Chain A
């Protein structure tokens, strides 16, 4: 399988403002790739650089093996894009807008275009300025999908969509993936990436901090364990166990955070008479926020400095 997107030390700065810094990404053909990060992390800058809307300050970006700055038109011919925010012609109807983009691209399958319009419940007779944000987003989705592109670049695609249309959108994406097309989707909603993507990359403050399979992200997850003992809590038995931290002892109850496998804690607890055993696994969303929130980042940086 070939790499559809490949960036090497891709950097973009806006004068003194940070954009992205030394981003290395590889997205393989047929893959659904989630690009996650909080607002302002650099997701849109990365996507706009892939489209050649922005020129890299240093490093390079290749799409379909073509340098984005050398032949962007050849790349555009094979991709569909939905920006996070966009404007189109207020005077045109939704149908005329979709038609205009079809004309700019050429070779659009009008039956498939019509099918998309119906599935996404777009009213093509209304003027673009009369659409709600969600309906504009739906028109944008039809424009991005109507020519059956090999690569879909979607910047926060479900923003503004109601839950029913979101479901339809996920179905369309699944179909695209089943047909072997590549999907690169930015989001700050982890659950969205979790249900749609094979792999995700996490970007924070312009730098890529992690790239992994969605399943592997779950390793970041931890368990919040609460043990209520019949007698005094045997705190010392748990202090040295692998992955255990934040141990607290109060009125015969031990609370702790367990990173990684929970088995050693279960085995240790089994040696005592327990009144209750509670283990809660935070959602991936909570884990992500805990791991990559600015406060955590600051704490990590401080710890690094101290070392």
Chain B
């Protein structure tokens, strides 16, 4: 009997084609499912490396120019450098500048990816019920867990390889000074650190997920990741953070930034150990516990009046209360920090006459000591980008009513499809405004703490709501006219396109009309009370027309079930 089984096992060979396509093993299938994330994370980080190299090479082509650039990085207020992870190191070369300017993206983006992937790779499948089928196959649970985590590690390695090649290639192609060259070994070592740091955050989520559920594990790991970054970045300017610095895992590897000329391979050890430890705990927990036994953080249930059961608009809003609060607080904390430290920026500018002159030319009739000026300069670009992603999440929630099949039943009630689209679309707009209101409150608190008048900056912050509504209008139109699953990606594409145009148009000296495509460039300076009605009207028009197209589209096409 066992001999027969052995013969059968030998006889069953998985075709090469199936292996290549990712259907030959759990590892292959998981890696196949990660291909989009590999392209997004690897591609975006690689693009940032390319943009950074192009910026340094074209803006500061000579040694003298480079010195001017370095001087700018050292005179920036602590609020700025803290966000970038601390003071710039060897910023006179592409590698040093790239590490300083884009470190936030390079270290947080892989971490967030890893948290999302590893918190859900087993628990998510258990929740969906598909794990019952997988675990009933001829594989031990330990092996299932190892193959799935292994696939994520492989995906991370591929993405980081793309980044390393981009760093190395762009420095070779776009560098203008000897200091610009990033050796391939350094690029690989830096990408390894990025990947290991990401896996460390993911490993924490993976270890916690069986005990506190996917959401709880992801939240705790994300808090640790972002908290570590902030503590390490602001340790020089915030005394309490200096005390907390040993708890930041970015602090443990701060001596190893190979593309910036800092080489301390021991820095690789700590994230590697955390990743390995977290993954081991997760694998053992999955192998030993009952299948399907997933804990959850017990949060108090929201009352019915908050969840909203009186109609589509209230329900749309009620369903997104958590997202509104999370995004509002996330963006609001940054607004609060900028607002409270706005006086630092004023002092820095006053201490540098040439810089002060530049700003006086750029912002005539503006009091550089106004906190609104700091918010306009340091917050609005980040804020519009962040509200764009918040909008994508909220529009994705709106689309899920149809893509997850809820409309199948909801639209058998006496509510016409266009009316449904308008009410739920308005609910989405109100949700976006809710995020903006929380940010505005944070701004008001921050400015008030400086002892200045908060009204202008607080009202100005509402520009984020306007911007988000415009982006949502595009997403709703796409979702209504074509298919719901395209709505959130349409918003993401739009937001990323706006960001890239904003960065690349001046760099590549593209025609003015290209830069004009960025809606945020038409709002004026709302933080200092100088609103441009053209941008305001344009944003409102996009929101209204988008909602109208959504209603027409949903009214005309088949419902997707």
B153 is an interface residue with CB less than 8 A from chain A = no
B414 is an interface residue with CB less than 8 A from chain A = yes
| Stretch of A50-58, A109-117, A289-297 at the chain-chain interface | A50-58
Interface majority SS (helix, strand, loop, mixed), chain A? mixed
Please, which residue of chain A has its CB at the minimum distance from the CB of B420?
Answer: A104
Tell whether, in the assembled complex, residue B309 and residue A53 are in contact, meaning their CB atoms are under 8 Å apart: no
Tell whether, in the assembled complex, residue A86 and residue B405 are in contact, meaning their CB atoms are under 8 Å apart: yes
Q: How far is the CB of B412 from chain A (nearest CB, A)?
A: 4
Tell whether, in the assembled complex, residue B319 and residue A91 are in contact, meaning their CB atoms are under 8 Å apart: yes
Tell whether, in the assembled complex, residue A96 and residue B558 are in contact, meaning their CB atoms are under 8 Å apart: no
Q: Which residues of chain A are within 8 angstroms of B559 by Cβ–Cβ distance?
A: 48, 53-54
Tell whether, in the assembled complex, residue A83 and residue B415 are in contact, meaning their CB atoms are under 8 Å apart: no
Of B319, B409, B410, B417, most buried by chain A (CB within 10 Å of CB) is B409
| Bound-state Cα–Cα, A83 to B559, Å | 14
Tell whether, in the assembled complex, residue A89 and residue B319 are in contact, meaning their CB atoms are under 8 Å apart: yes
| Bound-state Cα–Cα, A106 to B409, Å | 16
Q: How far is the CB of A62 from chain B (nearest CB, A)?
A: 17
A215 is an interface residue with CB less than 8 A from chain B = no
> Per-residue CB proximity of A203-227 to B under 8 Å, as 1/0?
0000000000000000000000000
Q: Which residues of chain A are within 8 angstroms of B417 by Cβ–Cβ distance?
A: 72
Tell whether, in the assembled complex, residue B409 and residue A143 are in contact, meaning their CB atoms are under 8 Å apart: yes
> Per-residue CB proximity of A14-51 to B under 8 Å, as 1/0?
00000000000000000000000000000000001001
Q: How many interface residues does A have (CB within 8 Å)? A: 33
| Stretch of A73-81, A184-192, A231-239 at the chain-chain interface | A73-81
Please, which residue of chain B has its CB at the minimum distance from the CB of A12?
Answer: B558
Tell whether, in the assembled complex, residue B414 and residue A96 are in contact, meaning their CB atoms are under 8 Å apart: no
Of B301, B410, B413, B415, most buried by chain A (CB within 10 Å of CB) is B413
Q: Which residues of chain B are within 8 angstroms of A55 by Cβ–Cβ distance?
A: 557-558
| Bound-state Cα–Cα, A103 to B308, Å | 11
| Bound-state Cα–Cα, A141 to B413, Å | 14
Q: How many interface residues does B have (CB within 8 Å)? A: 27
Please, which residue of chain A has its CB at the minimum distance from the CB of B315?
Answer: A100
| Bound-state Cα–Cα, A88 to B307, Å | 14
Please, which residue of chain B has its CB at the minimum distance from the CB of A54?
Answer: B558
Tell whether, in the assembled complex, residue B319 and residue A76 are in contact, meaning their CB atoms are under 8 Å apart: no
Q: How far is the CB of B544 from chain A (nearest CB, A)?
A: 24
| Bound-state Cα–Cα, A106 to B415, Å | 11
A101 is an interface residue with CB less than 8 A from chain B = yes
Please, which residue of chain A has its CB at the minimum distance from the CB of B409?
Answer: A86
The answer to whether A86 and B311 touch (CB under 8 A), given A53-B561, A73-B415, A76-B413, is no
The answer to whether A88 and B409 touch (CB under 8 A), given A73-B415, A96-B307, A103-B310, is yes
The answer to whether A88 and B406 touch (CB under 8 A), given A54-B559, A73-B415, is yes
> Per-residue CB proximity of B299-335 to A under 8 Å, as 1/0?
0011010010111100100010000000000000000
Q: Which residues of chain B are within 8 angstroms of A48 by Cβ–Cβ distance?
A: 559, 561
> Per-residue CB proximity of A124-162 to B under 8 Å, as 1/0?
000100000000000010010000000001000000000
Q: How far is the CB of A132 from chain B (nearest CB, A)?
A: 11
Tell whether, in the assembled complex, residue B408 and residue A83 are in contact, meaning their CB atoms are under 8 Å apart: yes
Tell whether, in the assembled complex, residue A91 and residue B406 are in contact, meaning their CB atoms are under 8 Å apart: no
Q: Which residues of chain A are within 8 angstroms of B307 by Cβ–Cβ distance?
A: 91-92, 96
| Bound-state Cα–Cα, A101 to B407, Å | 12
State which of A76, A79, A85, A104 has its C-beta within 8 Å of the C-beta of B405: A85
B411 is an interface residue with CB less than 8 A from chain A = yes
Q: Which residues of chain B are within 8 angstroms of A143 by Cβ–Cβ distance?
A: 409
Of A89, A104, A105, A106, most buried by chain B (CB within 10 Å of CB) is A104
Tell whether, in the assembled complex, residue A105 and residue B414 are in contact, meaning their CB atoms are under 8 Å apart: yes
B347 is an interface residue with CB less than 8 A from chain A = no
| Bound-state Cα–Cα, A216 to B362, Å | 88
Q: Which residues of chain B are within 8 angstroms of A81 by Cβ–Cβ distance?
A: 409, 412
Please, which residue of chain B has its CB at the minimum distance from the CB of A104?
Answer: B413
| Bound-state Cα–Cα, A55 to B417, Å | 13
A249 is an interface residue with CB less than 8 A from chain B = no
The answer to whether A86 and B416 touch (CB under 8 A), given A48-B559, A99-B309, is no
* Closest 10 pairs between A and B when the two form their complex, measured CB to CB: A100-B309, A104-B413, A53-B559, A77-B414, A81-B412, A87-B405, A54-B558, A87-B404, A73-B416, A83-B408
Known pairs A55-B557, A74-B414, A89-B315 / 8 extra A-B pairs, C-beta < 8 Å:
A48-B561, A54-B559, A76-B411, A86-B408, A91-B319, A99-B304, A103-B311, A106-B414
Which residues in B have some Cβ–Cβ distance to A below 8 Å?
A: 301-302, 304, 307, 309-312, 315, 319, 404-406, 408-417, 557-559, 561
